[in-house]
Each structure stands twice: as structure tokens, then as C-alpha cells.
Structure 1
Amino acid sequence: MATIATTLAGTSRAIHRAIRATDPARAASLTQLRDTGWELTQLTAELTDLVALLADYTGRHTDQPERVRRADGGPAGEDLAHASRHLTSLRRSLDIAHTEARDYYTALSHLNPAQLPP
């Protein structure tokens, strides 16, 4: 999991830098939009898989709540249940995001730049 967290941190920073470095005054080409749509489709799929993995790991703690305590020393069962529900909600949201990203990519895949007359 440490490798995943480190990779996510680096990826998040790289995406943040790329967004900040983009000049909003310059329109992206159709090819750039399509390529970005494809990568967004891949990213949302991988994030969905990550959430499934986190749900599995969290579920293992939920199965043995006596092995985990809250920071104040209290039982962790309720907090683990909340975390599991949030992961379920996140998974649904990512499934929707993945579908929308795929549909965006598909819509752009049917387009070509127009040939303007000389």
C-alpha cells in the first residue's frame, strides 16, 4: 500500500502542475482532447480498482473491529462502517465518472478536423 500511496501522491502533484501550466487562452486540438479523454478513461478505471482494493482492506478491519481503536481509545466499529459506506459511494461515483469519460472519448473519436477551403 505504501507504494500505491507514494504513486498517487506523485501523480496528483504531476496532474496539478500540468493543469496549472496549461494556457486557457490556447484551445487544445481535437487530438489532444481525444488523447486526454482516453487517459481520463484509464485513470478513472484504475481509481475504481484502487477503491475496490481499499474496500477489501477496510473490510478486513471491519471484520475484526476489536483490533482497531479510535484515537480517543473508543471502539472503531462505527468509524469503520462509515469509512466502508464512503468507499461504496466513492466506487459508485467513480463508475459514473468512468462511464462519462469513456463516452466523452467515444464522442470525440467520431470527429475529425474540418477541411477548410483555401
Structure 2
Amino acid sequence: MCGNKPRNDPPAGALGAYPRRRVTHGGPPVAHAACGPAWRCDACGHDWPCPTLRATPTDAARRATLIPEYSRITRRAIRDLRGRPGGPDPVAIVRRFLWFLPLTDAEARAVALRLR
């Protein structure tokens, strides 16, 4: 849970055998997950999806499983991040959260309009 909202962990099995967790100095493993409104990785503190998560291989089958969940997450991120001082515009948010899709700016703009 993130506050009163469910966590935005990637769908189970969507990232294959990739180790999504890291062990912290003797503590429990920490997932590379995040939630709004800041959308920062719980494990490493980078903007989410963080470099560790983005390094996950995403072949066509994995992309197909990621699209529905990450579309929902992207919709929430647009609502949380849009209009913040110095924050990204909706096109940049779409490109950030749907990194595994080769979107042009025009395509990302169309997705952002659809997800608002």
C-alpha cells in the first residue's frame, strides 16, 4: 500500500525472472516500486520507473503484459505530475512511464490526451 492507495508494483510475472528487489544492509528486500504524487522509487530514490526497472528486458510478450497495468499507472502519474512547477508535461510523462514502447512525440501526445 502507498498511503490509502494500492502499491504500483509491476504485475506479477510481467518482468519474468528479473530480480526486482535488492537487499538492504541486512534488512528485507526492497521493491523498485513507487506511487504518487512524487513517483520516486522506494528502493533507490530515482524518478520512477527507475533505471533498475527500466533495464529489465522487454520483449514483445512482456510488453503485452505491461501495457494494461502501466497505462493505468501512467494515467495516475499524469494527474499527479501535470502542472507541478518544474514538472514534466504529459508527453514526457507518457514517454517516461511507457518507456518500453517506441513512441514518437505525436504518439505520446495522443496517448496523454486519451489518458487524461
Instruction: Considering fraction of residues, name the structure with more helix.
Output: 1
Instruction: Considering fraction of residues, name the structure with more strand.
Output: 2
**TM-score interval, normalised by the smaller of the two chains:** 0.3 to 0.5
The structure number with the bigger radius of gyration is 1
TM-score, length-scaled by structure 2: 0.33
TM-score, length-scaled by structure 1: 0.33
**Bigger RCO (CA 8 Å, 6+ sep):** 1
